[in-house]
Amino acid sequence: MAGKGDTPETRPATKLVSAGRKPEWTGAAVNPPVWRASTYLYEDSAAQEAGRHVNADGVFHYGARGGPTQWALAEALTALEPGAAGTMLYPTGLAAPAMALLSVLKAGDEVLVSDNSYDPTRAFALHALRDYGIGARFFDPLDVGCFAAAIGGDTKAVLFESPGSLTMEVCDVSALAAAAKARGLCVLLDNTWAGPTGFQALRHGVDLSILALTKHVGGHSDLMLGSVTANARYYPRLRKRSLLLGQQASPDDAALALRGLRTMGVRLERSAASALRIAAWLRDRPEVAQVLFPMFPGSPGHELWQRDFSGGCGLFTFVLKGRDAAARDRLVDALRLFGIGYSWGGFESLVLGVPPERDRAVMAWPPADCGPADRFAVRLWIGLEDPDDLIADLEQGLAAL
Ligand SMILES: Cc1ncc(COP(=O)(O)O)c(C=O)c1O
């Protein structure tokens, strides 16, 4: 019987296998089938009328509230996050921070956004929220004292991304969340890099934990999906606002994401292990000024990663020593096993030339320990290929610099 062995005490690797597999959702199958439905039929008018007064997760109503395939995914994500009351799903990863912010802010409020956040999240906070009368300001998440001083009378929420998905800064989420809570702020975190198996966001003081499921959970570069998992204080308003704004994920994508979730642990372990080997190789190369990879000893943020995280992934960035944009592009273009593309978390390796200066307001670039001429960086997502082949590819790519 599905889900028979899952208890609240099971460890994350076990939860990845069993969470969300309720017999009433899976039937005799291991995985919940794809329940494609706009319409769920009632027995009679009395049942339909009674149904109008029930507004809860896991209850058939209308397709906009989802069905068993989406409920299974949401329940699995909730089970993976200790302290969570529920999870809402969204059709893209970007819709997740957007809906989380719209759920906790109103006209006249302000949100503080960490300066290393994903560019479209920044754009949403700055431009879309402004049209609703909500202000946004950026802050340096590495400076806890400066953050506390930045909280103003209208500040009602703070959004972190740790590590930053381009430049990999790890922030002290517990300390920042404590400072935020002392002033009554709602705390949001984009936890996509580590995910719930690598960083238990709610246990570190976060109220709403955001994931782009497009990345590790999907894992195969063939779906777009996002989620927000919230504690009991914030889940009701997240759910209410998301449903009011018609947010739901498709059952097909939810089924793919559930399939990805079951193998996510081993994929991330393999990706991170390969990335650590590749980072060590890059660190010893004369063309490289710095490796930015929190899991890698000696990288910025490694001590915080060791203190707070139980895992990570193979997404990291390295800074070139004294080269220009054209040289960086020659390296990127010369790589054969790394596709040039956005996103990460799939089975295949990817590369991206990153222009950090373009997307920050207050944080310095280049990072500490780099010279002023070390400005150009390359982000790698390490997939499931043989790491020796990836190193050989990087070696011939560096020769093109
Ligand atoms: C950290 C982070 N959050 C959110 C997103 C948005 O996810 P999606 O591409 O599914 O909209 C991304 C996408 O790259 C990301 O890197």
pLDDT at site 147: 95
Q: 26-35 — which CB contacts under 8 Å span 24+ positions?
A: 26/2, 26/72, 30/2, 31/255, 31/258, 31/259, 32/68, 32/69, 32/72, 32/255, 32/258, 33/68, 33/69, 33/255, 34/69, 34/251, 34/252, 34/255, 35/67, 35/68, 35/69, 35/251
**pLDDT the model gives residue 383:** 98
Q: Taking a C-beta distance cutoff of 8 angstroms, is the pair 186, 207 a contact?
A: yes
**What DSSP string runs through 266-334?**
HHHHHHHHHHHHHHHHHHT-TTEEEEE-TTSTTSTTHHHHHHH-S---SEEEEEESS--HHHHHHHHHH
Indicate whether residue 211 lines ligand 1 (CB < 6 A).
Answer: no
Measured from the CB, is residue 242 less than 6 Å from ligand 1?
A: no
Could you give the CA distance from residue 249 to residue 226 in angstroms, rounded to a whole number?
8
Question: For tokens 């002023």, what's the residue?
Answer: 372
- How far, in Å, CA of 36 to CA of 45, rounded? 23
- Is the minimum distance from the CB of 166 to ligand 1 under 6 angstroms? no
Q: Tell whether ligand 1 has an atom less than 6 A from the beta carbon of residue 398.
A: no
Counts of helices then strands in the chain (DSSP H, E): 15, 12
In short, whether 92's Cβ falls inside 6 Å of ligand 1 is yes
| Chain centre distance of CA 100 | 13
| pLDDT tens, per residue, the chain with 401 residues | 344 555 667 899 999 999 999 999 999 999 999 999 999 999 999 999 999 999 999 999 999 999 999 999 999 999 999 999 999 999 999 999 999 999 999 999 999 999 999 999 999 999 999 999 999 999 999 999 999 999 999 999 999 999 999 999 999 999 999 999 999 999 999 999 999 999 999 999 999 999 999 999 999 999 999 999 999 999 999 999 999 999 999 999 999 999 999 999 999 999 999 999 999 999 999 999 999 999 999 999 999 999 999 999 999 999 999 999 999 999 999 999 999 999 999 999 999 998 877 788 999 999 888 999 999 999 999 999 999 999 999 999 999 99
Q: Which atom of ligand 1 is found nearest the CA of 97?
A: 4
Residue 198 to residue 112: CA distance in whole angstroms: 25
What pLDDT, on a 0 to 100 scale, did the predictor assign at position 6? 57
Question: How confident is the model at residue 9, as a pLDDT?
Answer: 75
Structure-token pair, residue 313: 């992934």
Measured in residues, the chain has a length of 401
For 216, the token pair is: 């590790």
Residue of 116, 192, 221 to test ligand 1 pocket, by largest number of atoms within 8 Å of CB: 192
| Residue 144: CB atoms within 10 Å | 16
Which is it for strands 315-320 and 110-114: parallel, antiparallel or unpaired?
unpaired
Q: Which atom of ligand 1 is the closest one to the Cα of 192?
A: 1
Q: Is the CB of 200 under 6 A from ligand 1?
A: no
d(CA 6, CA 18): 6
Segment (H or E) for 251: helix 251-283
pLDDT of residue 4: 55
Q: Is the dihedral of CA 378, 384, 387, 393 positive or negative?
A: negative
Q: What is the pLDDT at residue 327?
A: 96
Q: Which atom of ligand 1 is nearest to the CA of 225?
A: 10
CB 245 within 8 A of CB 110: no
If you measure from the C-alpha of residue 284 to the centroid of ligand 1, how many angstroms do you get, rounded to a whole number?
Answer: 31
d(CA 119, CA 84): 27
- Is any atom of ligand 1 closer than 6 Å to the C-beta of 124? no
Give the number of other CB atoms < 10 A from CB of residue 341: 13
Cβ of 214 below 6 Å from ligand 1: yes
Please indicate whether residue 160, judged by its CB atom, sits closer than 6 Å to ligand 1: no
Query: Which amino acid, one-letter code, is at 93?
Result: G
Contact between 91 and 226 (Cβ < 8 Å): yes
Distance CA 357, CA 57 (A): 43
Of 94, 167, 213, the one to substitute when testing ligand 1's pocket (max ligand atoms within 8 A of C-beta) is: 94
**12 alpha carbon to ligand 1 midpoint, in Å?**
23
Closest C-alpha to ligand 1, atom 13: 343
HSE-CB of 320 using CA atoms within 13 angstroms: 24
Token pair in block for residue 297: 């000893």
CA-CA distances (angstroms) from residue 150 to 80, 115, 119, 138, 164?
33, 13, 21, 9, 20
Q: State the pTM of this model.
A: 0.97
118 CB within 6 A, ligand 1:
yes
What was the pLDDT predicted at 1? 38
